[in-house]
Amino acid sequence: MPDMLPPDPSTSSSHAARPGPRSLSHPLSNDAFARHAETLLAVIYPERKDEVLRRLETLMELHRSRLAPRVPEGEPLWSERDQWLITYGDSVQQEGEAPLATLNDFLASRLGDCLSGVHVLPFFPWSSDDGFSVIHYREVNPALGDWQDIQRLSEQRDLMADLVINHCSRESLWFADYLAGVQPGRDYFIEMDPETDVSSVVRPRPSALLTPVHTRRGLRHLWATFSDDQIDLNFANPDVLLEFIGILLYYLEQGARMIRLDAVAFLWKRLGTSCVHLPETHAVVRLLRAIVDHLAPGSLLITETNVPHAENMSYFGLDRLSEQDLTSLEGSAQADEAHMIYQFTLPPLTLHTLTSGDASALTEWAASLPSLPAGCSYFNFTASHDGIGVRALEGLLPDHERDTLVRLVHDFGGYVSMRANPGRADTPYELNISYFDALKGTRRGRDPWQIERFIASQTLMLSLQGIPGLYLHSLTATPNHQEGVERDGHLRAINRRKWQREELEALLSSPNTATHEVFHALKRRMTLRREEPCFHPDAHQQVFDLGPDFFVFERVTHEGRRLLFALNVTDQPRVLPLPESWQGLALTDHLCHDKAFDPAMARRPYQAAWLMEQSVRPPAIEVV
């Protein structure tokens, strides 16, 4: 990616109109797709590209009549109304009812049209890792429901489905084929001599990379990046890639609009390299994007790559665009890799900011984010089914600051998962704790500001450029689920509680619970946000450095409508120093029911503001 200077925070913002939304749906023609696919297959399978292209075109023809554009040609891919929920299919349960049906009814009754989409985490039959060790890719776990339940969810809102593409369960039929030495699974996995030097391979786990397996041909050792129940698939065999393309298209046919490429960074293996982010991996993502844009324009691909920030950004494919393309406001450049990436830096950096009371690192990072080309956006989140990854902090915070977060998480009842490093000691990989409890206090210990601090973290996430995704357990202020860790025996269970609907409804209805206070505060913010054009994912963002006590940025639409976000990140009252371009204006705070803003009045601890000029009327909506 070309070196880019962050915007100068001291520069006054221009009121000039900016370009309109650039995220438009443009399906590829048949000829353009064929040329692009051939180029990519020459990278992936140089000796077999013509054969694989013919097979790919045959496969696509089988699905073409069952797919249609999800967004009309020339229409925006997204808007300020895009707000997603992340949840397991059985996170809310009710006796005598399929959990997917319960989830659908709960979302309709409690959140209505606040949500544009829902990411239902792996809903397939599985053997471990709460769904990410898939046994059958084309089936719905009967304990959750069936494909009709999935389709009903997709009829009410957009649906994100996981393509668990790097590995499968050792209980799968493919693995049974491998053990028996029969096709197709016989060549679906990666055999290695156990004496092979794999020390250069980047690992997300401390376990051994090669796992022993007894087959009809004797003992074999297979590549297993994540666990001995999650066996990596051999994408050097084009049959595997074509199989997964068929699965991806099947998910789109069942109603999914967004496909999450799980652990895709580890897809391609080449000994002597790190086996992460290899050129073939990026070419596969680009090929999947081309297929989606061609057959079902408006459908979206999102890459899940919990890696350092610069590596994560590579999945936009920005390195193939010129600096002029990246800095242009005309939107002529069109990216060809992922539509979205998870903003993995945001969860740990927000946690660092709110527990240290210092916004400096967050301000510097946010100011460094490049302008994105057409058809790209960030997926912002603070919590998910996994822990809080800390690899994204590499190069942004010194190790001693990361270690301070580790100590804080231990103090607040959480755990830390480690990863292996070639030739050196294991290091922290993720913090296992509910995000609500991670904000129980600051480095000085617990304090009375947990709820305010947590709401501030979510308001920040909802305000940043991109599309927000809220984890169900963030909406419900779920504390650490220690019983789950003890029962399931793995650390991530601390943030994967299963609610009984009756219990959850009681908490939501009681004004004296954290669940009630957080849920209704966030629902109000989501209701306001979805009607405010400044929160369009393509609206310009400029970050201001106003000192360590505040995190401040503005969002500007292409018509020139402006909104200033400001957050006191400390546990003390502080007076907000307005940016120069906002000084002397009569302002109202959209978060405080459009009351006049007094620049001399101190902001409360962890108080956020959405400031607008009084002459600019916010949308007239009823907030329940």
Contact 100, 144 (CB under 8 A): yes
**Cβ contacts of residue 223 below 8 Å, gap of 6+?**
189, 190, 192, 209, 210, 231, 232, 269
| Partners of residue 221 on adjacent β-strands | 212
Say which residues have a Cβ less than 8 Å from residue 432's Cβ, sequence separation at least 6: 387, 388, 409, 414, 415, 416, 417, 491, 492, 494, 495
* CA angle, residues 271, 54, 135, in degrees to nearest 5: 55
| Residue 5, pLDDT above cutoff 50 | no
Whether the pLDDT of residue 25 is over 70: the answer is: no
Residue 334, both tokens: 């069109």
| Region class of 346: left (phi > 0), else alpha (psi between -120 and 50), else beta | alpha
C-alpha closest to that of 35 among 49, 17, 24 = 49
Any idea which residue has 């069109």 for tokens?
A: 334
Cα-trace Rg, the chain: 24
Single out the catalytic residue among 232, 262, 538, 549: 262
* Residue 566 near residue 603 (C-beta atoms within 8 A): yes
Q: How does the average pLDDT of the chain come out, rounded?
A: 92
pLDDT at residue number 203: 87
Closest CA to 240 of 346, 166, 329, 170: 166
pLDDT in tens, 525-572: 999 999 999 999 999 999 999 999 999 999 999 999 999 999 999 999
Decide: 418 and 460 in contact? Cβ < 8 Å.
no
* Known active-site residue 358: no
How confident is the model at residue 420, as a pLDDT? Answer: 82
Percent of the chain clearing pLDDT 70 (strictly above): 93
Q: Which band of pLDDT confidence, cut at 50, 70 and 90, is reported for residue 20?
A: very low
Least confident of 201-215, 244-258, 340-354, 610-624: 610-624
pLDDT reported for residue 371: 85
Taking the C-alpha atoms of residue 130 and residue 557, their distance in angstroms, rounded to an integer, is 41
* pLDDT for res 322: 53
Each residue of 103-149: pLDDT tens digit? 999 999 999 999 999 999 999 999 999 999 999 999 999 999 999 99
pLDDT above 60 for 179: yes
Q: Mean pLDDT throughout 488-494?
A: 94
What is d(CA 70, CA 86) in angstroms, rounded to the nearest whole number?
21
Q: How many residues does the chain have?
A: 624
Answer whether residue 378 shows pLDDT above 90.
yes
Place of tokens 């947590």: 454
**Please, how many CA atoms are within 13 Å of residue 270, restricted to the half-sphere of its CB?**
10
Contacts of 244 (CB under 8 A, 6+ apart): 163, 165
pLDDT computed for residue 15 by the predictor? 34
More confident residue, 10 or 45: 45
Residue 285 in this model has a pLDDT that exceeds 60:
yes
Q: How far apart are CA 241 and CA 94, in angstroms?
A: 39
The closest of 302, 298, 308 to 262, measured between CA atoms, is: 302
103: CB partners within 8 A, 6+ apart: 87, 89, 90, 91, 92, 118, 120, 153
Distance of alpha carbon 319 from alpha carbon 345, whole angstroms: 20
Q: Tens digits of per-residue pLDDT, 287-339?
A: 999 999 999 999 999 999 999 999 999 999 987 765 545 444 334 457 789 99
- Element (H or E) spanning 63, and its range? helix 49-64
Q: Which residue has the higher pLDDT, 418 or 15?
A: 418
Where residue 286 falls among pLDDT bands split at 50, 70, 90?
very high
Rounded average pLDDT over 419-448: 93
Q: Is the pLDDT of residue 3 over 50?
A: no
Smallest CA-to-CA distance from 302 within 451, 195, 163 is with: 163
Confidence tier at 422 by pLDDT (50, 70, 90): confident
Note whether 100 and 120 are within 8 A (CB).
yes
Strands 424-432 and 415-421: antiparallel
Q: Is the pLDDT of residue 9 over 50?
A: no
Decide: 222 and 189 in contact? Cβ < 8 Å.
Answer: yes
Between 11 and 120, name the one with better pLDDT.
120
Q: Quick one: pLDDT at residue 23? A: 63
Q: Which residue has the tokens 């977060």?
A: 405
- The pLDDT of residue 26 is above 80: no
Q: What 8-state DSSP symbol labels residue 29? A: P
Rounded percentage of the chain residues whose pLDDT exceeds 90: 86
